[in-house]
Amino acid sequence: MERLLINGGRKLDGEVQISGAKNAVLPILAASLLTNGCCVIKNVPKLDDVYVMLSVLEELSVRVSWQRNELRLDCSRVAPAAPNPEILGKIRASNLILGPLLGRFKEAEIGACGGCSIGSRPMNLHFAALEVLGAKVLPLEAGYFVFAKALRGGEVHLAFPSVGATENLLMAASLAEGKTVLYNAATEPEIVDLAGFINAMGGKISGAGSDVITIEGVKRLGGAEYTIMPDRIETGTLLVAGAMCGGRLHLSGARPEHNQALLQALQQAGISFTYNIGDSKESFIEICGCAGRPLPLQITTASYPGFPTDMQPQLAAMLSLSQGQSVICERIFENRFRFVDELKKMGASIQLRGNCAIIDGVTRLHGMSVCATDLRAGAAMVLAGLAATGRTVVEQVEYIDRGYEDFAGKLNCLGADICRLDNFGNEKGCKLVV
């Protein structure tokens, strides 16, 4: 497992371009299975999860070619097949092939989808939604076979606004007969991006971004060209890095309207920032790291537009240096505090009570050898290392590679001193000699 060596205590300063959104590009790659045409996807981040999703598509005979951050997907030979369960098991998002394959071929086989160990992550909401359209679900030894004689539109009520279930339903209903109305839909910006892509293919989806989405089924969908939205979680992670390390960070392409809950929390913590809402060329967020320690906060994670669970570990790292006692309650996943023990090794004072973390701010964190326990926890450990005094080693950085494009490289361009060491301790992309 590779690791990052971080010399902490340095101010961050400068400008960085936000990459395309992981949680938008993954469903959009899956949605390309809805057509037998060719799709061109722009602003694609180079992430391990993207590479895995592309290998799932290739298992289904999609021909993939890259040109810098642009993907060309030739879907003319797509046929239903059972992708290699080992590949499916690498990421949770592989379950997103379910909707498009069901919509196009009326059958799909998915594995017991993998991903970070932040919770049990069942599929019951996906299945309940698709069964309304006429799908039948057969459990297999390691996964599920889902099929339908025909898919007919209907009224679907999600018991919880599941992002993935909303996405699978949108994709299947796009090729169903008649109209589908989805109630209690997820309202995340990534849903809006997916609907935008399907509509560019000739789909008829309205209401995406609200909790009631209407999908008029069509007979077929064509190829399309589409540009992925900027990553709001990468944006939030770099904002918290700026808040913890001082200095002025200019995040080009960041969409303030996608980060309202986080910006509100940062404002309450005494962090100042400015922003511009515009098209991808004009929009930005600029943060001026707080002079002193951040003020304490009471935060509960929630579905969008509430405080995002994917920003919870990063905020906990910031609040471990706050001026008082903060409380963070996690309401989306049942196992998303595994990073707390790693932060405590660095001197943080945190107690877990049920699904809440009670954080008593300390004046400093000290460098230590710690582990990334999942994707966002890994990012939080890097932020803690940047703010800590001394050297921090973050093990298992492969987790971070799943969701951040060149994370260490971007931070080093902003003044951080991070060195990547391979399994043999050889340096990769270090600024200073270790």
**Active-site residue set:** 116
The smaller minimum CB distance to ligand EPZ, of residues 99 and 223, is found at 99
The stretch near ligand EPZ (CB under 6 A) out of 8-16, 158-166, 311-319, 348-356 is 158-166
Say if residues 403 and 375 touch (Cβ distance below 8 Å).
Answer: yes
Please state, in angstroms and rounded to a whole number, the distance separating the CA atoms of residues 54 and 48: 10
Say if residues 8 and 364 touch (Cβ distance below 8 Å).
Answer: no
One of 134, 196, 203, 403 touching ligand EPZ (CB under 6 A): 403
Measured between its terminal Cα atoms, the distance across the chain in Å is 19
- 310 near ligand EPZ (CB under 6 A): yes
- 139 near ligand EPZ (CB under 6 A): no
- 163 near ligand EPZ (CB under 6 A): yes
Nearest to 45 by CA among 372, 378, 402: 402
234 to 63, 150, 213: CA distances (angstroms): 29, 40, 27
The stretch near ligand EPZ (CB under 6 A) out of 120-128, 144-152, 257-265, 407-415 is 120-128
In the block, residue with structure tokens 């309450």? 268
Q: Is the dihedral of CA 308, 310, 314, 320 positive or negative?
A: positive
One of 165, 357, 387, 400 touching ligand EPZ (CB under 6 A): 165
One of 1, 14, 76, 122 touching ligand EPZ (CB under 6 A): 122
Query: How many residues belong to the chain?
Result: 434
Chain center to CA of 423: 26
The stretch near ligand EPZ (CB under 6 A) out of 19-27, 205-213, 386-394, 422-430 is 19-27
- 23 near ligand EPZ (CB under 6 A): yes
- 90 near ligand EPZ (CB under 6 A): no
In the block, residue with structure tokens 């540009």? 227
Q: Which residue is nearest to ligand EPZ (CB)?
A: 164
One of 5, 18, 21, 26 touching ligand EPZ (CB under 6 A): 26
- 298 near ligand EPZ (CB under 6 A): no
- 309 near ligand EPZ (CB under 6 A): yes
Name the CA dihedral angle for 127, 129, 134, 139, rounded to a multiple of 10 degrees.
Answer: 0
Binding site for ligand EPZ (CB under 6 A): 22-23, 26, 92-93, 116, 119-126, 160, 162-165, 309-310, 332-333, 375-376, 403
